[in-house]
Chain A
Amino acid sequence: MGRKNRNRGGGGEMGGMGGMGGMGGGCGNVGILGNCGVNIQAPATPNLDPNPDIEYALATFMQGSATIDGNAVNIWGFNGGLVGAGAGGMGGMGGMGGMGGMGGMGGGMAGSFPSPAIRVREGQVVHTRLTAMMMMVPHTIHHHGIEPDAFNDGVGHYSFDVFGTYTYQWRASQAGTYFYHCHVNTVLHAEMGMYGALIVDPASGPGSASDGTSYDVEAIWAVDDIDQAWHCKPWNAGLCGGDAGFHNFNPDLFCITGLGQAELDADVGAATPAVAITANQGDRVLLRYIMAGYVPQRVTFHRDLGDVTIVAEDGRNLPSRRTISAGGSVFMTAAERYEFIFTTDNAGTEIPIDIEFYNYRSVSGSLRSIGSIRGYVNVN
């Protein structure tokens, strides 16, 4: 693959470990086709390009389970990954799919949380083939931040919801950090875990940030908030009206790429951590940060990580890079993405990156903290 940077498995793997083979139990979720406001179709892709540069195949699952801070949480998501010649070689790519997220777990009944990463290069024509059959429930894929024609944008109210198979066709015009998620009853389906990283590398491939800055170590973090009370509802809750409680979000669990604090604390000590960033002294680290939650987050970098530079936001290079001085923080709201670069000049273990979560309700404008989580950097 010609990738120059070293991949130590440290944080470059998108897709947590929580979803390994578990089965969500106890929540009846019988699909009912033809619900309010849902426009179910599985059309042929208009102007289907017979020779896409890269293709991903993703199938939905709705009986997954993740362990987050010791709690079993029901998860929905997508299984699968890269199709074709490149698929076998992905183990060395880093960031391609999660731990066990590459194949259908348990016969397609469960899968990883978050869902496997989609990783393409600038300029490529991409096919994302969605198969939504599980539990007779429609879903879509919206490539968030990617701007295709409306038919391929994955928003049911403006096109259609998929039951069956549909191939989304688009071309990656700009390198950047994106994510993808289901856009059916989004308030619920995104919360249930139906999202994954979407990375558009520069045309040269992995090894550089979106603005061309090379890196030694790459990490992809998707940081999410979870209200367990929302994780046992039918896929179409509220779609026909009534009160499904979706105005009332009170997250009680927090995670980085599917791992809660207890799992992160264990992960950082592992030989090859899944989420903790592992670097050598003097390495340049690219942290692709996906704000996957609903409530605001403040990310604070420990001063030992030195100055942190933002080179891109929301899949676009900044007109001029912004540097946060050592120990500084960044406030962000739902679905933003940041590309952070820092150089690990100071050796140390478990150097923290702290994320504070705030109540989304604020009449006065002041912020009320509702929780926090700590991710780690090990610098050898």
Chain B
Amino acid sequence: MDRRKFLKTGLASAAGVAGLVAGTTSLLTWSPRTHAATVNVNISAVAGDIPLHAGVDNVARSTYMLCFSSNSAPQFHGPTILCQEGDTVNVTLNNTLAIDTVFAVTGTGINESIGAGNNSTFSFTAPAPGTYIYHDNQNSGVNRVMGLNGALVVMPNSSNRSFNGGPTFTRQFKWALHCLDPAWGETLSADGHNAVNSINPDSFNPSFFTLNGFSYPETHNPDTDLEGNIGEAALIRLINTGGMIHSPHFHGNHVEITSVNRNNVTGERKEKDIVSMMPLDARDVIYPFKTPPDAWPAASGAQRYPMHCHSEMSQTTAGGSYPHGLHAGIIIGQSPATEPEL
């Protein structure tokens, strides 16, 4: 199945309106407002098969996952909750799983448990601006890695930055890093959802590696690839929802570290070509879209580069198919082709 269909048939999110954005979507658009609002979101916890990347040899396969979804079908990742600081977020969570689920938000005290088969509504006030992960934090992360996760993006009051006083940017992207071990899916499919309680987290041996649910070359779509003209800085909200330590490496430009788990850099920003990502980390970086500094003579025309994780096991699918893994494109000198449609 073509995962790209999600981009077209997924959640229609009008630009700049608080609410849910498909978890496979990278480009976020936002219009700041001066007042807080009430945001109502409906999320279901559902289980089912999610297609896995086919690899170079084009093998059709899928894995059983537990998902947060904006409808009754399994979705991976869960929808991104996009809102503004101070907003009242009302979440109606319909848990169709055979086990309790938890909606917890990193870096906050938000932690709601919803019983198996129950439907419950809870509210929270959108915390300080920044990038958060909402996740089912049970079983030392097993539930999260099985798919129960998504991003919570909180914009500041009145400004289109990642925090008031933060750097300006032309576009912002959310990139979720994840990895999957199909053996865990088989266990859940065969033994029932309760098996999450008995899976040893240390048995995790991932063989599929994704960015917003895609593996290269599916990431080569105008939404997931990082594209911009010279000077059109991008904010990238990197989150690691998976079960390995990632080391995303950016070609073309160094990135500027803007926030590390919502600790905002207010002075001069450190430049890195590697961003270390522990599980549950959220790191915001600026990709400046400068002309490549070491080109000789100066580069002309659009320049295509990769962003890939340097823990190179993540550059594979089912044990091979390099570089079909956690890898996306960067195009310096070209704006996203379908931008007006987004």
Chain A positions within 8 Å of B245 at CB level = 295-296, 333, 358, 360, 362
Contact at A363–B140, with CB atoms within 8 Å? Answer: yes
Residues on B lying within 8 angstroms of A by beta carbon are: 55-59, 140-142, 144-145, 201-202, 204-207, 209, 243-247, 249, 251-254, 267-274, 276-280, 292-297, 299, 303-306, 309-313, 315-316, 318-323, 329
Tell me, yes or no, whether A205 is within 8 Å of chain B by CB. no
Contact between chains at B269 and A319 (CB < 8 Å): yes
Is the CB–CB distance between A153 and B296 below 8 Å? no
Binds B, one of A183-191, A256-264, A265-273, A371-379: A183-191
| Alpha-carbon gap, A202 to B259, bound state (A) | 30
A169-B296 in contact given A241-B55, A363-B145, A364-B140 (Cβ < 8 Å): yes
With an 8 A cutoff between CB atoms, is A368 at the interface? yes
Nearest chain B CB to A136 CB, angstrom units: 19
Q: Is A6 an interface residue (CB 8 A)?
A: no
Number of A-B contacts (CB under 8 A): 215
* Structural contact, B274 and A335, CB atoms closer than 8 A: yes
Indicate which residue in A146, A243, A295, A314 contacts B319 across the interface (CB closer than 8 Å).
Answer: A243
Interface residues on A, range: 35 or more
Residues on B with C-beta less than 8 A from A241 are 55-59, 318, 320-321
**Contact A242:B320 (CB < 8 A) given known A247-B313, A335-B310:** yes
Instruction: Report 28 cross-chain contacts, Cβ distance below 8 Å, ordered by A residue.
Output: A37-B322, A125-B296, A145-B254, A147-B251, A147-B254, A149-B303, A150-B292, A152-B295, A155-B305, A158-B304, A171-B295, A186-B322, A186-B323, A190-B312, A238-B321, A244-B316, A244-B319, A247-B207, A247-B209, A247-B318, A295-B245, A313-B272, A319-B270, A333-B276, A361-B243, A363-B142, A363-B202, A364-B279
- In the bound complex, do residue B273 and residue A145 qualify as a contact, i.e. CB atoms below 8 Å apart? yes
Is the CB–CB distance between A295 and B311 below 8 Å?
A: yes
CB contacts (< 8 Å) of B305 on chain A: these are: 150, 153, 155, 158
Give the residue name and chain of the A residue nearest to B205 (CB). A248
- A residues less than 8 Å from B318 (CB atoms): 241-243, 247
Would you call A144 an interface residue if the criterion is a C-beta within 8 Å of the partner chain's C-beta atoms?
yes
Instruction: Please tell me if the beta carbons of A318 and B270 are within 8 angstroms of each other in the complex.
Output: yes
Chain B residues with Cβ under 8 A from A314's Cβ? 254, 271-274
Query: Pick the contact of B274 from A37, A334, A364 — CB < 8 Å?
Result: A334
Complex CA distance for A368 and B272, rounded to whole angstroms: 26
Contact of B294 among A36, A147, A187, A249 (CB under 8 A): A147
Is the Cβ of B56 less than 8 Å from the Cβ of A37? Answer: yes
User: Which residue of the partner chain, among A144, A243, A244, A247, contacts B273 with CB atoms under 8 Å?
Assistant: A144
> Is the pair B319, A247 in contact by a Cβ cutoff of 8 Å?
yes
Chain B nearest CB from A169 CB (Å) reads 6
Within A323-342, the residues touching B (CB, 8 Å) are: 331-336
Judge whether A360 and B280 touch: CB under 8 Å: no
The residue on A at minimum CB distance from B201 is A363
B57 neighbours in A (Cβ, 8 Å): 240-242
Decide: A368 and B56 in contact? CB cutoff 8 A.
no
Report the minimum CB–CB distance from B268 to chain A (whole Å). 4
Q: How far is the CB of B166 from chain A (nearest CB, A)?
A: 16
Q: How far is the CA of A144 from the CA of B313 in the complex (A)?
A: 18
